[in-house]
């Protein structure tokens, strides 16, 4: 199994955004294992972090953008493609500006910067998602199909792209196939640049987008071919479509093993496939966890948490990843005491108890750090609390807690509760970390 990778040292890039033309500074920093790719807007009054995951996608025409609240990270696909192509799992990407630099319209400058920073292996194995079931998404005559690998020992992703602008277009029809490795990506895909038809460029200019660009900055195709520029490959356009697709698929949150066939797809359809693959990966991971021996059974949970029936809201811990993430379950049964008085004719689990269950998961996660320090986690505040749908008897809550920041006296955990793949509740929970009572050996959340 291949190890996760990050970079050895920070590196900086500068440039103007493709659509806005606004200047931006981008800095890459090493990141810890299992933290993934995270963008941080450092030009805000308080830095705003946006994970490179499909649930954070903001709808935009002709590009892929991410959002956290009112703060956006525009045109991320070339940067993400470079990370995917080079095999970089974990990275902190600080941006001063609202759109990533476009540079020459390819992602070669990103590749060169990351290579200059040095790509290093980490002490955690990578867990790629091996596509097991065929997934197909369609929009008109555009389609994407994700397929299992041809061989059980396959390790990478093969992409076949069929681009067809029709015989009347100077672009015409182009087909390209590539198996993604750092070498093939850097040589065959990364140099391919953004392209548009002349009429599309005129429309964007009329909308006030890309007004800073010249024919040297982007491939513009007129009736007779590319205007005032030269192609790097005869089929540069289809190669750039593969570049965009690979970056968008990185939003699934995992490296993919299998095959992807694309026909005339764009960012919106790419993102939909990433969403479907993320759901498939989530379901597969949950099935594997549910049949595996638990990390903590209920007796071990009781040794960590001070709660007891009827306020112990965690039945089993499925997985604990150090101090970064913990996953557990709460089985919601019809004989729960609170159902006797909470909508007894149509029993619904009180939202405050869902929050309590998530807070207890946060306490379990923090206990990995606090156990040897003689401290406990006391619920301090709740933020960004959202309920998505009711929880009823028979549901199984899958509780996930991810550490955002842990300091000497404060802990910040992001928690979610799912039923199957459906998100039912989420919250940012902050804890005060206090000394345990004299003589006490118990640690955990007092939420």
Which of the residues are catalytic?
Answer: 267, 342
Look at the block and give the residue holding tokens 């059974």: 297
A 10 A CB-CB count for 21 gives 15
DSSP 359-396: HHHHHHHHHHHHGGGTEEEEEEEEEEEEE-S---TT-E
Please, what is the Cα angle at 138 between 137 and 143, to 5 degrees?
90
Under DSSP, is residue 420 helix (H, G, I), strand (E, B) or coil? coil
Cis peptide before 248 (omega within 30 of 0): no
Could you tell me if 82 and 135 are in contact, meaning their C-beta atoms sit under 8 angstroms apart? no
By DSSP bridging, strand 316-321 and strand 410-419 are unpaired
Q: Please tell me the distance from the alpha carbon of residue 38 to that of residue 41, in angstroms, as a whole number.
A: 10
Phi, psi of 258 (to 5 degrees): 155, -150
Q: Please tell me the distance from the alpha carbon of residue 198 to that of residue 221, in angstroms, as a whole number.
A: 6
Could you tell me if 231 and 259 are in contact, meaning their C-beta atoms sit under 8 angstroms apart? no
Q: Please tell me the distance from the alpha carbon of residue 378 to that of residue 313, in angstroms, as a whole number.
A: 16
């Amino acid at each position: 199994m291949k190890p996760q990778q990050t970079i050895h040292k920070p590196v900086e890039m500068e440039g103007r955004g493709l659509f806005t033309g606004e200047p931006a500074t981008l800095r890459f920093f090493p990141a810890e294992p299992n933290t993934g790719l995270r963008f941080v807007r450092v030009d805000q009054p308080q830095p705003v972090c946006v994970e490179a995951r499909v649930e954070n996608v903001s709808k935009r025409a002709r590009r892929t953008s991410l959002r956290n609240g009112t703060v956006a990270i525009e045109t991320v696909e070339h940067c993400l493609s470079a990370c995917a192509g080079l095999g970089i799992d974990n990275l902190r990407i600080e941006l001063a500006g609202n759109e990533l630099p476009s540079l020459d319209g390819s992602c070669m400058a990103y590749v060169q910067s990351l290579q200059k920073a040095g790509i290093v292996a980490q002490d955690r194995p990578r867990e790629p998602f091996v596509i097991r079931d065929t997934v197909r998404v369609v929009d008109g005559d555009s389609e994407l199909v994700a397929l299992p690998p041809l061989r059980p020992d396959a390790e990478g992703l093969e992409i076949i792209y069929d681009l067809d602008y029709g015989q009347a277009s100077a672009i015409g029809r182009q087909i390209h196939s590539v198996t993604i490795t750092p070498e093939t990506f850097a040589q065959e895909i990364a140099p391919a640049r953004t392209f548009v038809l002349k009429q599309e460029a005129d429309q964007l200019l009329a909308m006030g987008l890309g007004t800073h660009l010249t024919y040297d900055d982007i491939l513009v195709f007129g009736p007779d071919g590319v205007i005032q520029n030269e192609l790097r490959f005869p089929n540069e356009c289809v190669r750039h479509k593969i570049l965009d697709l690979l970056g968008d698929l990185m939003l699934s949150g995992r490296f993919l093993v299998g095959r992807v066939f694309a026909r005339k797809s764009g960012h919106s359809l790419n993102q939909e496939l990433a969403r479907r693959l993320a759901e498939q990966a989530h379901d597969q991971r949950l099935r594997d966890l549910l049949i595996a021996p638990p990390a903590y059974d209920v007796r071990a949970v009781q040794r960590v948490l001070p709660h007891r029936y009827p306020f112990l809201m965690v039945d089993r811990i499925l997985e604990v990843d150090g101090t970064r993430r913990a996953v557990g379950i709460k089985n919601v049964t019809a004989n729960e005491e609170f159902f006797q008085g909470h909508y007894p004719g149509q029993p619904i689990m009180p939202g405050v108890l869902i929050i309590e269950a998530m807070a207890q998961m946060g306490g379990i996660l923090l206990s990995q750090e606090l156990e040897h320090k003689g401290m406990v986690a006391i619920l301090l505040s709740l933020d960004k609390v959202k309920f998505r749908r009711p929880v009823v008897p028979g549901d199984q809550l899958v509780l996930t807690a991810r550490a955002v920041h842990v300091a000497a006296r404060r802990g910040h955990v992001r928690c979610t509760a799912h039923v199957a793949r459906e998100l039912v509740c989420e919250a940012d929970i902050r804890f005060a970390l206090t000394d345990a009572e004299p003589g006490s050996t118990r640690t955990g959340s007092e939420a």
